[in-house]
Amino acid sequence: MTDKITGVRTAFEADLARASSESDLEGVRVKYLSRGGVIAQLFEEMKSVPPAEKPVMGKLLNALKTESQKAFDGKKAGASHGPAQGERSIDLTLPGRPRPLGRKHPLTQTIDEIKGIFTSMGFSVATGPEIETDYYNFGALNFPADHPARDMQDTFFISKNVLLRTHTSPVQIRTMQNQKPPVREIMPGRVYRNEAVSARSLVTFHQIEGLYVDQGVTFSDLKGTLVAFARQFYGNDVKFKFRPTFFPFTEPSADMYISCFLCKGQGCRMCKQAGWLEILGSGMVHPHVLQNVGYDPERYTGFAFGMGIERIASLRYGVDDLRLFYENDVRFLQQF
């Protein structure tokens, strides 16, 4: 009987080791562990073992039974829950891992959209340096030295003549210096102003500037172009008005307003009850500016405009604190 038990144990271990699939395993189970299996038969044979040997044989047989079951269970669990030792397996039925998708920053989205509208009207895109000289930021743009107009824009000076540009208008000068008319460019970029940071003002923000210079460009061209832009960007039903203002580099100059798209001009928190939102500054390029870049102001005229991207984006999305655009909190960014 002892030999028999040892024999079954050896045979079981060999069969179990060879089993490589679920159905092999099932075969092993039926052959050894089921109610009619080899081990159950040994228990049957215990009945004819002499009583003196029964305790020892019983112990051996019980050990065979529990150990075989354990070995079997272990292998079965290994087979269905992952690779057995030394094997690698790929579960092709697992769903793929979703990759988190990035998206463009709302300011970039706004710049891209504005660029798209103007490039479709025949404008191309130009850029220029953020560190500028006094000449490009002010002088060439007809800000007289020591003129109070310079106080309109609080400037970060690096040295007496070098500064962080306070607007994108110096790119107008650089573009016109490098190119003969017709000039039809838009100029997006970052600008800097020495102001206290608050919900309504930042030390750095973005502008997009536009410039069109050719023979016979008139104020109607300015209005037509900007109205076409505003309709595409804010919707066809938007109303607009131009109000005279002053910039040293344009004459005449006008701020453009659109009817508040939130309250449709009725007056609300966004437009501060005015019913109108200021969206950009514009004007006819001052003859001095044309002269400064070597264009003949008797021959050429042009218009220019500039708008703040943060302002445009905040109006559009109802963001009431400009600082949110720079904190880069994903909970904010994910909404765009």
Q: Are 240 and 233 in contact (CB under 8 A)?
A: no
Reduced DSSP (H G I as helix, E B as strand, rest coil) percent helix, strand, coil of the chain, to 5: 40, 20, 40
Residue 90: CB minimum distance to ligand PHE, A: 59
Residue 329: CB minimum distance to ligand PHE, A: 28
Q: Which residues contact 247 (CB under 8 A, 6 or more apart)?
A: 253, 281, 283
Here the tokens at position 244 are 């005279």
Residue 99: CB minimum distance to ligand PHE, A: 41
Q: Which residue number, 28 or 307, has a Cβ lying nearer to ligand PHE?
A: 307
Q: Which residue number, 8 or 187, has a Cβ lying nearer to ligand PHE?
A: 187
Report the residue number whose CB is nearest to ligand PHE: 306
Cα 221 from chain centre: 36
Footprint of ligand PHE (CB under 6 A): 167, 169, 209, 247, 250, 281-283, 304-306
Residue 285: CB minimum distance to ligand PHE, A: 8
Q: Which residue number, 250 or 259, has a Cβ lying nearer to ligand PHE?
A: 250
- Residue written as token pair 């045979």: 11
Scanning 213-253, the segments in alpha helix (DSSP H) are 219-234
H or E element in which residue 115 lies: helix 106-120
Q: Are 154 and 195 in contact (CB under 8 A)?
A: yes
Residue 331: CB minimum distance to ligand PHE, A: 31
Q: Which residue number, 72 or 138, has a Cβ lying nearer to ligand PHE?
A: 138
Q: Which residue number, 106 or 283, has a Cβ lying nearer to ligand PHE?
A: 283
Q: What are phi and psi of 194, to 5 degrees?
A: -80, 80
